[in-house]
Chain A
Amino acid sequence: MVNKGVVSKDKTKLLLLPGIIVVVVTTQIPFLMTIIYSFLNYNLIRPDLGVSFAGLKNFSRILTDSEFYSVIVNTFYLTGVSLLLCTIVGIAVALLLDGEIPGINFVRTLILAPFFVMTTVTGMIWKTLILDGTFGWSGHISNVLGVNLPDFFSQYPLTSIMLLIVWQWAPFFVLVILAGLQNIPEEIIESSKIDGASWFSTVVKIKIPMLTMHIQVAVMLGLIFIIKEFGLIHTTTAGGPGVLSNNLTYYVFKVVSLGSDVGRGAAIAVVTVILSVTVITLLFNAIQKQKDGQKL
């Protein structure tokens, strides 16, 4: 305290310490433990067997299980297709909302709402009030129009969940892309109009290229959250039938919480982390590369 010069410099650094400790305790150490668990025989409902070293047994078991691969495919389908649809819807709706519309705040509020609703409510509401064959709107529309709408969550479980993800996340894309659109200097748009460019070519050749960065941000953040989706699956199909609508996160939950096989669950969790981090890093690097390319 007396020695202000050197010590006080260190003090600023100390502000980092509590944050680092809490993050290490809640994320890094448990993740290391998960890696250790993945090499153990460890089953909660068989305490008589004890805990012992399993070597690569857990990994060889999941990697030779065809169920595991279909869950991986489900995860990529859910994440990839919903990100693609979110991007398309995001661009389209943002273009629609850009410009002078009276009451635009109210409209934006309505469109944004699904993003803030918790996934368990979203799942329950869509399952009961909207897509239920007996009490919901889909059943009612079927009756009134005499058409036969499918029972969405039992006939198309994965696609229905994917659509709910899009419904929830597209508003976020709209928000981010709209912010980008409103940053495009009006002179550029005006001058392209004066040059006789059509609405379509203005959008494709000028607006969308200028939105690249915003679209990338939206996709990147969307990916981080959508790849670990859980609540929508749990409340609508509970992963079923079978593992047809499991993603990796749900599969881990099922193996550990319902199957009590800690070793196997940990091994799946480890593979999940490796896959998620790889995909996110690949996308991130692709974005960086493209950015560097633009600078040159």
Chain B
Amino acid sequence: MNNTSLSKQPLPKIVKPINKKNISYKSLKMLFVYAFALLYSFPIIYMILTAFKSEYEVSPPSLIFKPTLETFREIFLNASIWSALSNSVIIVSASAGLALLLGVPAAYALVFAKFKKATTSNSLYLWFITTIILPPVAVIIPITSAFKAVGLLGSHSGLILVYTGFHIPLVIWMVYSYFAELPKELIEAAELDGASKISVFIKIMLPLCKTGIISAGLLVTIFIWNEFFIALNLAGNSAITLPVYMSRFGSQMGLFYAKLAASSTLVIVPVLVLGFLSQKSLVKGLSMGAVKG
């Protein structure tokens, strides 16, 4: 039963006879689905609308107003959001890049390297996976004091190091099953043709797992972009990232709701775009890893 739900077989569609009752039921259902979707995402929609209000139009809440770009203009003139934005961009791209750079070859080696004991690769894989369930509270206290001692607190490189370490296992989990699906004969054939191990990996295996690697990269990017707990403890003021910036919004800027909405909109747009691009491969990558583990 499990196998049938996993396999994707294109099946011939059965053409149903159309009748009027069916159509009105369908359009009713459609309306309901649209209404539900709008209601569910209403907080986000309203947030985006509020971003185009001026501060005095925020209360009482309404959906009808004269849109203005004034609030966005004020936000853009504020240096602190720019520095949080640039910190976030630097930290996220560096740590997602490093997590891929270290995680993808590791996953490849877990699948294809030959160990003395056959069980070694499996237990190493399990070790990586169990670190995914380690909550950050388990490590944050010593990391904070170690960073304080060596001057990494409030630095980009400190956060990049921790984020890389925490997301390598996630990359391995998502990419592993893609490598495991590749036939081993591919390597042997390429090596018979005189290709080196490294060029087999880079020129043949990597392109075949492109989808898995890209979706792992997108997911890790989204997670790090949104990560709050580690950043709150390690970023200080000099490496403040967007989630920390947003959490301090009320206390630093005063409660200006339109500004809050405009900043929020600015901050979530990149991940919304990435998220929608990756939604399908994201499910596949995550659940394939889960099936393996």
Q: How far is the CA of A172 from the CA of B293 in the complex (A)?
A: 19
Shortest distance from the beta carbon of B202 to any chain A beta carbon, whole Å: 11
A277 interfacial contact with B, CB 8 Å? yes
Interface size on A, residues (CB 8 A): 105
Q: How far is the CA of A95 from the CA of B200 in the complex (A)?
A: 44
Whether A120 touches B247, Cβ cut-off 8 Å, given contacts A109-B276, A217-B286, A234-B232, is yes
CB closest residue in chain A, given B258: A129
Which residues of B (98-152) have their CB < 8 Å from a CB of A?
102-103, 105-106, 108-110, 112-115, 124, 128, 130-143, 145-146
Asked if B137 and A135 make an inter-chain contact with CB atoms under 8 angstroms apart, the answer reads no
Asked if B290 and A102 make an inter-chain contact with CB atoms under 8 angstroms apart, the answer reads no
A96 interfacial contact with B, CB 8 Å? yes
Q: Which of A57-65, A80-88, A110-118, A145-153 contacts B (4 or more CB under 8 A)?
A: A110-118
A184 interfacial contact with B, CB 8 Å? yes
Whether A16 touches B110, Cβ cut-off 8 Å, given contacts A183-B5, A184-B5, is yes
A54 interfacial contact with B, CB 8 Å? no
A294 interfacial contact with B, CB 8 Å? yes
When distances are taken between beta carbons in the complex, the residues of chain B under 8 Å from A108 are 279
Which residues of B (251-290) have their CB < 8 Å from a CB of A?
255, 257, 260-261, 264, 267-268, 271-272, 274-276, 279-280, 282-284, 286-287, 290
When distances are taken between beta carbons in the complex, the residues of chain A under 8 Å from B33 are 96-97, 101, 107
B65 interfacial contact with A, CB 8 Å? no
Asked if A12 and B109 make an inter-chain contact with CB atoms under 8 angstroms apart, the answer reads yes
Q: Which of B56-64, B72-80, B209-217 contacts A (4 or more CB under 8 A)?
A: B56-64
* Interface SS majority for chain A: helix
Shortest distance from the beta carbon of A290 to any chain B beta carbon, whole Å: 10
Q: How far is the CA of A93 from the CA of B284 in the complex (A)?
A: 19
Asked if A111 and B41 make an inter-chain contact with CB atoms under 8 angstroms apart, the answer reads yes
A240 interfacial contact with B, CB 8 Å? no
When distances are taken between beta carbons in the complex, the residues of chain A under 8 Å from B124 are 16, 20
A25 interfacial contact with B, CB 8 Å? yes
When distances are taken between beta carbons in the complex, the residues of chain A under 8 Å from B169 are 23
Q: How far is the CA of A221 from the CA of B131 in the complex (A)?
A: 13
Which residues of A (17-72) have their CB < 8 Å from a CB of B?
18-20, 22-23, 25-31, 33-34, 37
B30 interfacial contact with A, CB 8 Å? yes
Whether A15 touches B108, Cβ cut-off 8 Å, given contacts A111-B40, A183-B8, A231-B229, is yes
| Selected contact of A114 from candidates B6, B32, B44, B112, CB within 8 Å | B44
When distances are taken between beta carbons in the complex, the residues of chain A under 8 Å from B161 are 22, 25-26
When distances are taken between beta carbons in the complex, the residues of chain A under 8 Å from B165 are 22-23, 25-27
Interface size on B, residues (CB 8 A): 106
A253 interfacial contact with B, CB 8 Å? yes
When distances are taken between beta carbons in the complex, the residues of chain B under 8 Å from A140 are 60-61
B17 interfacial contact with A, CB 8 Å? no
A176 interfacial contact with B, CB 8 Å? yes
Shortest distance from the beta carbon of A221 to any chain B beta carbon, whole Å: 6
Asked if B287 and A176 make an inter-chain contact with CB atoms under 8 angstroms apart, the answer reads yes
| Selected contact of A113 from candidates B2, B13, B44, CB within 8 Å | B44
CB closest residue in chain A, given B247: A120
Shortest distance from the beta carbon of A255 to any chain B beta carbon, whole Å: 10
When distances are taken between beta carbons in the complex, the residues of chain A under 8 Å from B44 are 113-114, 117, 125
Asked if A224 and B132 make an inter-chain contact with CB atoms under 8 angstroms apart, the answer reads yes
Asked if B41 and A110 make an inter-chain contact with CB atoms under 8 angstroms apart, the answer reads yes
| Selected contact of A26 from candidates B162, B201, B275, B286, CB within 8 Å | B162
Shortest distance from the beta carbon of B186 to any chain A beta carbon, whole Å: 14
Question: What 6 A-B pairs come out closest when comparing CB atoms?
Answer: A26-B165, A33-B142, A30-B139, A19-B106, A116-B275, A15-B105
- What 20 new A-B contacts, CB under 8 Å, besides A26-B143, A110-B40, A130-B46? A18-B105, A27-B134, A34-B139, A110-B41, A116-B274, A120-B247, A121-B47, A167-B43, A183-B5, A186-B13, A221-B290, A228-B135, A230-B229, A234-B228, A234-B232, A234-B247, A249-B229, A252-B140, A269-B138, A280-B133
13 A-B contact pairs sorted by A residue (CB < 8 Å): A11-B197, A26-B161, A27-B139, A93-B36, A114-B44, A118-B226, A120-B247, A121-B264, A125-B261, A185-B4, A224-B133, A269-B137, A273-B138
Chain A residues proximal to chain B, CB less than 8 Å: 8-9, 11-16, 18-20, 22-23, 25-31, 33-34, 37, 93, 96-97, 101-103, 106-126, 128-130, 134-137, 139-140, 143, 167, 175-176, 179-180, 183-187, 190, 209-211, 213-214, 216-217, 220-221, 224, 227-228, 230-231, 234-235, 248-249, 252-253, 256-257, 262, 265-266, 269-270, 272-273, 276-277, 280, 291, 294
Chain B residues proximal to chain A, CB less than 8 Å: 1-2, 4-9, 11, 13-14, 29-30, 32-34, 36-38, 40-41, 43-44, 46-47, 50, 58-61, 102-103, 105-106, 108-110, 112-115, 124, 128, 130-143, 145-146, 161-162, 164-166, 168-169, 172, 196-198, 201, 222, 225-226, 228-229, 232-233, 242-244, 246-247, 249-250, 255, 257, 260-261, 264, 267-268, 271-272, 274-276, 279-280, 282-284, 286-287, 290-291
